[in-house]
């Protein structure tokens, strides 16, 4: 089972992105395979924020379109929204001890969700490899 990072969602839905084709094909394959895919609020809301931001994307999506895309993903029967467990802060803290930089806090949160639920974190950001105990896959490599 996999947990998806926001960057893969943005690459997959932005036709101007040079990684669009590869990310789009990968995401379509993952979402149509029928196995469980974790899509946390962190990634869903990040997708909406980035994909509608003209400072981040040359031709941003209208807000309603981004919300509709996210809703379509979440309505798939095998997509679920993993929530933090009671041990979440301890897991995040352990990851931040290994990589103690404030900019890594959101990534440590996402990595902790993957660890807590036994998922492989899928992202185009290889810095996730810095977190010990995290199963990680970059499908764009």
Q: In sequence order, which ranges of 14-57 are alpha helices (DSSP H)?
A: 20-32, 41-51
Q: Which of 46, 50, 114 is nearest to 83 (CA)?
A: 114
What is the Cα–Cα distance from 136 to 118, expressed in whole angstroms?
11
Q: Which residues of 66-79 are buried (b: 16+ CB within 10 A; e: fewer)?
A: beebbeebeeeeeb
- pTM of this prediction? 0.95
pLDDT confidence of residue 98: 86
Q: Return per-residue pLDDT of the chain as tens, 141 residues.
A: 999 999 999 999 999 999 999 999 999 999 999 899 999 999 999 999 999 999 999 999 999 999 999 999 999 999 999 999 999 999 999 999 987 889 999 999 999 999 999 999 999 999 999 999 999 999 999
């Amino acid at each position: 089972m996999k947990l998806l990072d926001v960057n893969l969602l943005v690459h997959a839905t932005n036709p101007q992105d040079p990684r669009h084709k590869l990310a789009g094909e990968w995401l379509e394959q993952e979402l149509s395979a029928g196995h469980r895919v974790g899509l946390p609020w962190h990634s869903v809301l990040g997708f909406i924020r980035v994909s509608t931001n003209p400072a981040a994307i040359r031709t941003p999506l209208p807000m309603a379109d981004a919300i509709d895309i996210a809703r379509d993903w979440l309505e798939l029967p095998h997509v679920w929204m993993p929530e933090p467990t009671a041990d979440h802060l301890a897991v995040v803290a352990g990851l931040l001890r290994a990589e103690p930089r404030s900019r890594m806090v959101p990534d440590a949160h996402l990595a902790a969700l993957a660890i807590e639920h036994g998922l492989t974190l899928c992202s185009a950001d290889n810095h996730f490899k810095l977190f010990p105990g995290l199963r990680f896959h970059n499908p764009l490599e």
